[in-house]
Structure 1
């Protein structure tokens, strides 16, 4: 499994989210950026469990992705973030990411992985990027794929 291809696929999938009227389109990068245009999704750190199946048959990677929104006022940023963190709907990151699983029997993320699952949301808090504070949260995404490539 090529990690950068998976990271790129996750960022591409996140861009499919529909933002509420009057809110800028979600930007996304496959890496932790130096600066952002909020709202922004990025794929941060990850851990790999090698050899989940013998002879490099399967690796399991948990990506910690983050989404940040503007802190324009106390309530509006939280409403936008809550919509992105919903479990379903056009504005749900979980739904957008899991749509990239492909149809039954297809590979996920355009062929970059076997499958993926958005496992949980965590760390709903303020994040500082390039000296600017944003409201954000993390999504943990488990991706499985061929360990020999």
Structure 2
């Protein structure tokens, strides 16, 4: 698997989130940006485990993705974040990101991985990014695929 391509594909999948009227559209990047337009989803750190199967048949990535929401109003910002972190619905990052898994037996992320899933949310708190405060959280996405490509 190629990390940069997987990160971009996850951002593309997150971009399909539909937020209610009056909330700015979610912007997404497959890398840590210098500055953001909130709300924003981006792929950040990655932990890589090589050789989960012999012959370079399987590697695993645990990719930490962040979603940051502007603090125009503390309560309203947290309501938007809660919507993005919900387990289902058009505003759910989990549902939208996992929609790129493909049908059973198909490769995930357009052929970039064998499979993946959004494992958990952590770090629901205030974040500083490029000198600005945001409310946000981290999504841990576990990706598995061939180590041969």
| Aligned counterparts of 1:64 and 1:74: Cα–Cα separation in 2 | 24
Which residue of 2 is the match for residue 135 of structure 1?
Answer: 135
| Aligned counterparts of 2:56 and 2:67: Cα–Cα separation in 1 | 32
Q: 1:75 is paired with a residue of what secondary structure? A: helix
RMSD (Å) for aligned C-alpha atoms: 0.6
Which residue of 1 is the match for residue 85 of structure 2?
Answer: 85
| Aligned counterparts of 1:108 and 1:15: Cα–Cα separation in 2 | 17
Runs of 4+ in 1 over 3 A off after TM superposition: none
1:128 offset after TM fit, Å?
0.9
| Aligned counterparts of 1:36 and 1:56: Cα–Cα separation in 2 | 37
Unaligned 5+ runs, structure 2: none
Mapping of residues 22-61 of structure 1, within 5 Å: 22-61=22-61
1:129 offset after TM fit, Å?
1.1
Which residue of 2 is the match for residue 117 of structure 1?
Answer: 117
Unaligned 5+ runs, structure 1: none
| Aligned counterparts of 1:38 and 1:51: Cα–Cα separation in 2 | 38
Which residue of 1 is the match for residue 7 of structure 2?
Answer: 7
Q: 2:101 is paired with a residue of what secondary structure? A: coil
1:23 offset after TM fit, Å?
0.7
Aligned residues: 149
TM-superposition CA deviations, 1:78-105 (whole Å, max 9, x none): 0000000001111000001111101111
1:20 offset after TM fit, Å?
1.6
Q: 1:45 is paired with a residue of what secondary structure? A: strand
